């Protein structure tokens, strides 16, 4: 288990070398951190918390929207040229 963020990202990048779509592979760590950050803010500033299933679902939905957005942007750019 990596002890630092840099080590985690490096090992994640190495694991994704064979991924079919590396840009989507790279979205996953950011999605996890974003979801954890949003949950942290919910707990600290709004005195509410989600159960673990909701946190997982939020992460998956955020990931799906990120992949869809990335794909649409790629398609849009490719149609311009």
> What are the pLDDT digits (tens) for 5-48?
889 888 888 888 888 877 778 888 999 999 999 999 999 999 99
CA angle, 25 as apex, 77 and 12 as ends, to 5°?
140
User: Model-level pTM?
Assistant: 0.73
CA atoms within 13 A on the CB side of 51: 1
Number of domains making up the chain:
1
CB-side exposure of 26: number of CA atoms within 13 Å? 7
In which domain, by residue range, is 32 found? 5-80
26-to-9, 19, 36, 44, 50 alpha-carbon distances in Å: 9, 10, 17, 28, 26
Q: Would you give the end-to-end CA distance of the chain in angstroms? A: 44
């Amino acid at each position: 288990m990596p002890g630092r963020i840099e080590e985690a990202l490096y090992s994640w990048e190495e694991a994704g070398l064979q991924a079919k779509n590396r840009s989507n592979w790279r979205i996953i760590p950011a999605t996890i951190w974003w979801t954890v950050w949003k949950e942290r803010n919910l707990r600290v500033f709004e005195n509410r918390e989600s159960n673990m299933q909701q946190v997982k679902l939020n992460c998956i939905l955020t990931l799906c929207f990120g992949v869809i957005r990335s794909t649409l942007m790629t398609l849009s750019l490719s149609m311009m040229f």
